[in-house]
Amino acid sequence: MDYRIEHDSMGEVRVPADRLWAAQTQRSHENFRIGEGIETMPSEIIHAFGILKKAAALANAALRPEKMTAEKLSAVSSACDEVISGELNAHFPLVVWQTGSGTQSNMNANEVIANRGNAIAGSKLLHPNDDVNMSQSSNDTFPTAMHISAVLIMTDRLIPAVKGLIDTFLELERMHEGIVKSGRTHLQDATPIKFSQEISGWRASLERDVELLERAVEPLCELALGGTAVGTGLNAPKGFDELVAKEVSRITGKNFVTAKNKFHALTSKDELVFAHGAIKALGCDMMKIANDVRWLASGPRLGLGEITIPENEPGSSIMPGKVNPTQCEAVTMVAVQVMGNDVAVGMAASQGNFELNVFMPVCSYNFLQSARLLSEAIESFNSNCAVGIRANKAKMEENLHRSLMLVTALNPYIGYENAAKTAKKAFKDGISLKEACVQLGFLSEERFDEVFHPEEMV
């Protein structure tokens, strides 16, 4: 491999000749070989750095034109566009397990943008610290990248994925309207319910999750940029914070604003904890929905068997013809991961000391993983399972009429205690509720038929 020599304030460093990073990135790459190649800084953070560096250059050009000249702005902007598009992802090798402030990833961005900008300009025009990092500090850029990436993944990926599943459930409700089945509570038979009503419970849960996610996005739209090292805004020109937030808004199409209190913005991660709580709530609902679906599809002969789901792949290497609810299993495993991530996000957020939180990379890593995994799991579940859910009407009707809890309809006519005796006798003797009620002398056959209508109990 060919190398070139780069230098920083600590001296010279050998860097692979085909890479755009420089000395500080290389030092981190060599010093933190933890989770290398697997747990690298999320691409969403890298792209957010491209956005914020471009916005900072635009703000600096407006406020400090003598320093951020038109030529420099053009070079920085072009390089940032390539970072945003993902073209330069290979030049961001650093792992999550580095400095807790994310300083090395900030410098990784500064060095890549400077070197790529210089290549575009055809001259040694840009310095990573003096130009690309102008009016900034790692301590305000990394929390800004965290918020930008969180807002984008929630609004552009997670919420649309949930809305797609909501639409599927609405169609399934329409398709199955009028089908009555047994309800279940405590995993035991309960009074009847329409299958469309059961689906509506899934749908309404997701609609509420969308509401919670959208509420959680708003606080994340406040940016720390402009606070620099400790929140005082040292070395940033007046008005930089507001202007850079406007530029980030223009680039992303989202409504970002500058944080009112930069001291809070640098050290507290409460907005991310709150937002991840909404993500966890969605994970909990997806766990419940996926479990409902696989219970209802269980069997096909020895389980509930009340619905059929798509058969996507063989389910066993030894049992021919076996098909498993694999999409449900994937969703539930993702939900477990999200719940675990919530602990990590909360613990990381609790570790702010004085003017800075130094658990930011792990906080962001877990947050983004949760949002990414849930987005992909919901999309997969929707397209490979939910759209193909169909009621097994015959099985639903059979189970409905075998349910002892239909006896609840008799309460107004024979009372709770006599209804309980009827249900217990029917179960013990293996006879119908009608037979048990008549044998116990509570109602005649004619009166029983007159008052007993399971389909009207919904």
Residues with a catalytic annotation lie at: 186, 316
State which amino acid sits at residue 225. L
Tokens of 94: 């650093």
Check the CA dihedral 291-296-302-308 and report its sign.
negative
Check the CA dihedral 338-376-165-147 and report its sign.
positive
Distance CA 364, CA 359 (A): 9
* Mode of pairing for the β-strands spanning 257-258 and 307-308: unpaired
Q: Of 148, 367, 109, which is closest to residue 259 (Cα–Cα)?
A: 148
DSSP, res 453: -
CA distance 301 to 367: 41
Q: How far apart are CA 41 and CA 21, in angstroms?
A: 15
Q: Could you tell me which of 20, 30, 167, 130 has the C-alpha nearest to residue 80?
A: 20
> Cα(83)–Cα(72) distance, rounded to whole angstroms?
17
Residue 389, φ and ψ in degrees, nearest 5: -65, 130
Give the 3-state secondary structure percentages of the chain, helix then strand then coil, rounded to 5.
Answer: 65, 10, 30
Query: In the structure encoding, which two tokens stand for residue 417, read together?
Result: 């205690």
Q: Is the dihedral of CA 327, 329, 330, 336 positive or negative?
A: positive
DSSP-derived pairing of the beta strands 222-223 and 188-194: unpaired
Contact 22, 109 (CB under 8 A): no
> What is d(CA 279, CA 293) in angstroms, rounded to the nearest whole number?
21
Q: Over 197-265, what HEC string results?
A: HHHHHHHHHHHHHHHHHHHHHHHHCEECCCCCCCCCCCCCCCCHHHHHHHHHHHHHCCCCEECCCHHHH
